[in-house]
Copies of this chain bind each other. A is one copy, B any other.
Amino acid sequence: MRVAVVGTGLVGGSLAAALRRLDDVAEVVGADRDEGAVATALARGLIDRAAPGAAEAAEGADLVVLAVPVSAVEAAAKEVGSVLAPGAVLTDVASVKARLVPAMEAAVAPGVSVIGGHPMAGSHEGGAAHATPDLFVGATYLLMPTASTDPDAYRRLHGLVSRVGARVLAVDPARHDLLVAVTSHLPQLAATTLMNLAADRAREQDAELLLLAAGGFRDATRVAASNPDLWLDICAQNRDAIVAVLDDYRERIGSLRSLLSVGDDVGLRRELADARAARRALPGKESVTGVLVELHLPIPDRPGVIAEVATGVGSVAVNIEDIAVEHDPEGGRGTLRLAIVGEEQAARARAALESRGYDVLEHRP
């Protein structure tokens, strides 16, 4: 398999390095507008070869990863779209998706599978110099198959992402943007607001205020140091979802303020205790352990099925360990085999699939 990575910064460089370690990846070619980034990636052994541009890197590739900023994904997709052959897979790592996935699909020829990607992994330190093949170990990696995604193409990308150590969760692109508005975009804007409130007060009233910034304040404002231009792009791409989440957040801050001002200790304690319980229950990087259960689904042989099945399982927060597609020799239909770890997880996945009208058989290998 030949892989092209366009954009060899932290995420692209790390993914290149991780894929390069796999036996069935023959070559990883890198390209970056920033000549220094691609030179660093080459010097650090993250890629096998540097190409002068995105199209040159993508020539003959089986998988192309666009690891460029949100605002550059569409243009990069057009560059590589002209050279990708049917059967190839195009993915990205951008943190907003509802507009980008259709734009990527519009940029490629029929027969090329577009599968949006979003690894929930990063680092405070950007750039190829900090890239590491272990960046994705234990991280959640979102994949966004669409109605035109070929099941075999999805299976291949799912397999690669699993083998670099990530837990794959399939989501619909529009749903993805609603989810990250809560888990990523709101925390960013809340941190920005908190930091500016404190800095303004320090400047206007209390010079000593920021000397009191201990661990809690530092944690709560850490992401406020992020790159403003990247966030401007994200805000523009996901405006409606972020505005709705900010409204919800503002209303909740108001409710908490009311509990406090009227001295409703029972209500206030409930809020504090609920948040504590939820924070402690936050899923860690530990993977679920348990028996391996295989779910077998007879499926019609049409592209939309893989998106429906994978996002259906993702919607109940279940990780698919492995996917196999068996095409019926007579054509027209086949069997999808999903490997799930844990009885409880398998039961949740089965229920989600049955509610979508699939027949599901359980096997314990």
Which residues does A use to contact B, with CB under 8 Å?
A: 120-122, 139-140, 142, 167, 169, 171, 175, 178-180, 182-184, 186-199, 201, 206-229, 231-232, 235-236, 239, 242-243, 245-250, 252-254, 256-257, 260-261, 263, 265, 268-269, 271-276, 278-280, 282-283, 314-317
Contacts and interface: CB of A to CB of B under 8 A. Distances in A.
24 contacts: A140-B211, A142-B212, A183-B209, A184-B212, A187-B221, A190-B253, A191-B216, A193-B252, A198-B278, A199-B275, A199-B278, A207-B316, A210-B282, A211-B283, A211-B317, A213-B283, A224-B278, A225-B279, A226-B272, A232-B265, A235-B268, A243-B260, A250-B253, A253-B253
Contact of A198 (B182, B197, B247, B315): B182
A194 B187 contact: yes
Nearest to A188: B216
A195 B175 CA distance: 20
Contacts of A122: 214-215
A216 B184 contact: yes
Nearest to A121: B214
A274 B218 CA distance: 16
A149 B89 CA distance: 74
Contact of A196 (B179, B212, B271): B271
Contacts of A167: 211
A27 B186 CA distance: 51
Nearest to A259: B235
B169 A224 contact: no
A183 B198 contact: yes
A226 B276 CA distance: 6
Given A207-B315, A212-B184, A213-B183, A250 B243 contact: no
Nearest to A191: B220
A278 B226 CA distance: 11
A2 to B, nearest CB: 30
Counting chain B CB atoms within 10 Å of each CB, the highest count among A183, A239, A254 belongs to A183
Given A193-B252, A196-B252, A187 B208 contact: no
A179 to B, nearest CB: 5
Nearest to A243: B261
A276 B140 contact: no
Max count, chain B CB within 10 A of own CB: residue among A217, A220, A221, A235: A220
B175 A187 contact: no
- Scoring A180, A214, A252, A273 by chain B CB atoms within 10 A of each residue's CB, the highest score goes to A214
Looking at A194, A232, A271, which has the most chain B CB atoms within 10 Å of its CB? A194
A220 B187 contact: yes
A190 to B, nearest CB: 6
B246 A199 contact: no
